[in-house]
Structure 1
Amino acid sequence: MHGLGLWEPASGSELNEPEALAELEALGFGTLWIGNSPPELRYAEQLLDNSTTLTVATGIVNVWLEPPSVLAGHRARVLARHPGRFLLGIGASHRALVGDRYTKPYEKLVSYLDGLDAEGVPADGRVLAALGPRVLRLAGDRCAGAHPYLTTPEHTAKARAALGTGPLLVPEQKVVLTTDRTEAHTLGRQALSMYLALPNYTNNWLRLGFTEEDFADGGSDRLVDAMVAWGDEDAVRGRVEEHRLAGADQVALQVLNPDRLATLRRLAPALAG
Structure 2
Amino acid sequence: MATPVPLGTFGVFGITQALTAERAAEIERLGYGAIWIGGSPAADLAIVDTVLGATSSISVATGIVNIWSADAGTVADSYRRIEAAHPGRFLLGIGAGHREATREYTKPYQALVNYLDVLDERGVPRDRRVVAALGPRMLRLAAQRSAGAHPYLVTPEFTKAARDTLGSEPLLATEHKVALGSDRAQTRESARPSVENPYLRLGNYLANLRRLGFSDADLSNGGSDRLIDALVAQGDPRSVADQLTEHLAAGADHVAAHVLSDDPLPPLAALASSLGLTRRE
TM-score, normalising length: structure 1: 0.95
Deviations 1:226-262 (A, max 9, x none): 1000011121111111100011111000001343111
Counterpart amino acid of residue 113 in structure 1? L
Q: What secondary structure is seen at the aligned counterpart in 2 of 1:40? A: coil
Match of 1:33 in 2: 36
Q: 1:199 aligns with which of 203, 207, 223?
A: 203
| Higher RCO by CA contacts (8 Å cutoff, separation 6 or greater) | 2
Secondary structure of the residue that 1:171 maps to in structure 2?
A: strand
Distance 1:186 1:258 in 2: 15
Pairing 1:155–2:158 present:
yes
Q: Deviations over 1:32-70 (max 9, x none)?
A: 000122222001110011111111100000001133211
Question: Which residue is equivalent to 2:222?
Answer: 218
Structure 2 CA distance for aligned equivalents of residues 72 and 162 of structure 1: 28
- Hey, what does 1:189 align to over in structure 2? 192
Question: Quick check: 1:175–1:255 contact (8 Å CA) kept in 2?
Answer: yes
Q: How does 1:4-43 map to 2 (within 5 A)?
A: 4-13=10-19, 16-18=20-22, 20-35=23-38, 36-43=40-47
Partners of 2:34 and 2:14 in 1: CA distance = 11
- What count of residue pairs does the alignment treat as equivalent? 269
Letter in 1 for 2:145: R
User: Identity, % of aligned pairs?
Assistant: 48
| Residue of structure 1 in register with 2:3 after alignment | none
What do you get for the CA RMSD once the two structures are aligned?
Answer: 1.3
- Between structures 1 and 2, the one with greater helix share: 1
Residues 9 and 255 in structure 2, CA contact (< 8 A), matched pair in contact too: no
Contact persistence 2:151–2:175 (CA under 8 A): yes
Looking at structure 2, the residues matched to 32 and 98 of structure 1 have their Cα atoms a distance apart, in angstroms, of 26
C-alpha distance in 2 between matches for 1:147 and 1:262: 25
Q: Which amino acid aligns with 1:54?
A: I
SS of equivalent residue, structure 2 residue 18: coil
2-side partners of 1:139 and 1:263: how far apart? 32
Aligned position for 1:46:
50
